[in-house]
Structure 1
Amino acid sequence: MVEPNQSLKLFVVMSKAYRAINDYTNKFIQKEGINPTEFAVLELLYHKGDQPLQHIGGKILLASGSITYVVDKLEKKGFLKRVACPNDRRVTYAQITEEGTKFLEGIFPAHQERIEEIMNALSSEEKEMVIASMKKIGQAIPAK
Structure 2
Amino acid sequence: MLYGKLLNAITSVQEQKFNISNSELDVLGSLKMSGGVDCTLSPTALYERLLFSSGGMTKVLKKLEEKGFIERVHNSNDKRSKLVKLTQKGALILDKTLKAVIQEENKVFANLNDEDRIVFKNLLVKALKD
State the partner residue of 2:99: 109
TM-score by length of structure 2 reads: 0.75
- Measured in 2, the distance between the counterparts of 1:124 and 1:91 equals 48
State the partner residue of 1:3: none
Q: Which structure: larger Rg?
A: 1
| Change in 2 beyond 3 A, CA 1:22/1:60 | farther
State the one-letter code of the partner of 1:111.
V
Aligned to 2:49, the other structure's residue is in SS state helix
| Change in 2 beyond 3 A, CA 1:61/1:125 | farther
The yes-or-no answer on 1:80 pairing with 2:75 is no
State the one-letter code of the partner of 1:123.
R
The yes-or-no answer on 1:47 pairing with 2:33 is yes
The yes-or-no answer on 1:24 pairing with 2:18 is no
What percent identity do the matched residue pairs reach?
24
- Which consecutive residues of structure 2, in runs of 5 or more, have no partner in the other structure? none
Aligned to 1:111, the other structure's residue is in SS state helix
Aligned to 2:78, the other structure's residue is in SS state coil
Moved segments of 4+, more than 6 Å = none
Residue 35 of structure 1: which of 3, 13, 21 is its match?
21
State the partner residue of 1:130: 124
Shift of 1:95: 1.2
Aligned to 1:123, the other structure's residue is in SS state helix
State the one-letter code of the partner of 1:53.
P
- Report how many residues are paired: 121
- Measured in 2, the distance between the counterparts of 1:61 and 1:119 equals 29
Shift of 1:132: 4.5
- Measured in 2, the distance between the counterparts of 1:20 and 1:61 equals 24
What RMSD, in angstroms, separates the aligned Cα atoms of the two structures? 2.4
Shift of 1:127: 1.1
Shift of 1:57: 2.5
TM-score by length of structure 1 reads: 0.68
